Amino acid sequence: MLPPFTSASHDGDLGCFVRNIILNSIFQKGQFIIPDIASQTGFSVTTIAKYVSELYAEDILEKGDCLKTNKRGRNPVLYRVKSGTYYFLGVDLKPFELIIGLMNLTGDMVCIERITDFRFENTHNKLDEICTHISQFMLKFQSQNAGKIAGVNFNIGGRVNSHLGTSATIFNFEETREVPLTLLLNERLGIPVFIENDTKAMAYGEYVSENNASQENVIYVNIGWGLGLCIIINGEIYYGKDGYSGEFGHIHMYENNVMCHCGKKGCIETEISGSAVCRKLVERIYNHEASVLSKKVWNGNMITIKDIIEAAKLEDPLCIELVTQAGGELGHQLAGLINLLNPDRIIIGGRMSEIAPYYFLQPVKLAVHKYSLRLMTQQLSIVPSRLGGDAGVIGACLIARKKMIWNKLSICKR
C-alpha cells in the first residue's frame, strides 16, 4: 500500500519536483489554472496537466469554477486543494501546557485542544501520558470525520535533529538511545511522526502564516520559561550541521554563578527568560521586598510566567521592574546579533512576549538602538508574535504538512 501523496505512475524525481511546485503554488495562492503553473515553471502544459490529473485522482485537488476569458475555446478550469481529504496533527510541548492542534490540507486550523493542568517531566510516565492524550484526540477526530490524519509533528525543547528524528535533550532514555524518537512515537501512535525544535516550529508557523517574501532574513526569539532563537536566511530556516542552531540562551555571558539547566553557569538564559524573572522575584520577596505575589511565594507555591503577567497587569512595581530589566537585557544581547546578521525583522514570541509592550517590548527596542549600529537598524522592524500562543501548534501542523508533502521519501517512495 502506497503512503499518502504517492502515485505509482511517478516518473521519479521529475514527478516529485513538479508535484511539489503545483502544491506550493496552490498553498500560496489558493487556486490556479494549469497554464499559469506552466508559464511560471517552464514546463509544458501537458506535463503540468499530467501531474494535476494525478493529484486530482488521489483526492488531493478538486475542480473549482471555470475562469472566464475573452479567448476562444474552452475556459480553463481552476483547481484548488480538497481540504477535507488529509489532516495534519501538531503537538506543542511546553513546560506547563500541552497543546494539540489539527490542520486541514489547505492550512486552516480545524481545532486546538489545550491541556492546562499538564506539567512536563522528562520521564517514561510523562511520555506515556502525552501519547495517551494524542491517541484520545485522534480517536475523537476519527469518530467524527472521514478524512485521514496523514502525519504528526512534535515540538520539543532542546537539541533536536529533525532530519534524523532524534532528540539529544528530551526523552533520550538510555535504553532507547540508539532508536530515533520519531520511530518510537510512530510505533505508539501508528502514523508518520516528525519532531522539531520548539522555537524553530514557532518561527516556521509565524513566517509561513505571514507569507511575506519581502522579509527573507528574520530572527525569531522565543522567550518563555527558557530562551530560544531561530534564524531564517533567504526564507529558509538555518539549521547548522546537526540541526542544533539557535541555542542563543546557552551562550556564556554573565559571571552570576547561576547554574543553567544545561549544566553550565552564566548562560544568557539565567538572566533573560521567564524562569530567570521568576527566580529573581522569589529571591527579592525572600529579601522582604513587597509584591502582590508575596503571599503565594511565602506559602511555598511555584511562581509561573502567567503569575508575572497578571501581576504586571495589576501594576506590581517589583514585577514590572524585573520584566523591564529582562527586556533591556534581551535587547542588549540581540544588538550583537543584529550587527552580525543584519536581519530584516526580529519577531519576539513566547510567553513573556504577552506582557504589555511598554513593560517588555519597548525596553527591548530601546536597548537594540542603544547597542547596535544605526545603519543596521534603520530598516529593521522589531515586532511581537502575531500568532501568540498558537505559533507553536500552528508551526507544528505546517511542518507535518510540509514533511508529508515535500519529503522525498513520502512523496516519491514506490
Q: Looking at residue 62, which CATH number applies to its domain?
A: 1.10.10.10
H/E stretch holding 119 reads none
**How does pLDDT run across 261-301, given as a tens digit for each residue?**
889 999 999 999 999 999 999 999 999 999 999 999 999 99
Whether 4 is covered by a domain: the verdict is no
pLDDT given for residue 68 in this prediction:
64
pLDDT at 64: 78
Q: Are residues 63 and 112 in the same domain?
A: no
Interior angle at CA 337, CA 345 and CA 247, nearest 5? 100
User: What gap in Å lies between CA 293 and CA 47, rounded to an integer?
Assistant: 66
Global pTM reads 0.87
Q: Would 69 be classed as within a structural domain? A: yes
Asked whether residue 180 is assigned to any structural domain, the reply reads yes
Give the per-residue pLDDT at 356.
93
Please state, in angstroms and rounded to a whole number, the distance separating the CA atoms of residues 207 and 391.
10
Domain end marker among 81, 98, 118? 81
Q: Which domain holds residue 244?
A: 214-385
- Do the beta carbons of residue 89 and residue 134 sit within 8 Å? yes
**pLDDT value for 209:** 84
Q: Is residue 54 part of a domain?
A: yes
Alpha-carbon radius of gyration of the chain: 24
In the prediction, which pLDDT does 266 show? 95
Residues of the chain with pLDDT under 70: 1-13, 67-74, 146, 211-214, 406-414
CB 371 within 8 A of CB 406: no
Classify residue 413 by its DSSP letter: -
**Dist CA 91 CA 134 (whole Å):** 8
CB 331 within 8 A of CB 368: yes
pLDDT computed for residue 281 by the predictor: 98
Q: Which of 62, 81, 100 is the last residue of a domain?
A: 81
Is residue 1 one of the residues assigned to a domain? Answer: no
Q: Are the CB atoms for 393 and 99 separated by under 8 Å?
A: yes
Contact between 106 and 81 (Cβ < 8 Å): yes
Measuring CA to CA, how many Å separate 330 from each of 268, 323, 351?
9, 11, 14
- CATH number at 249 reads 3.30.420.40
Per-residue pLDDT at 407: 56
Q: Does 254 map to a domain?
A: yes
Q: Which pLDDT score is estimated for 229?
A: 97
pLDDT confidence of residue 411: 41
Q: Are residues 349 and 248 in the same domain?
A: yes
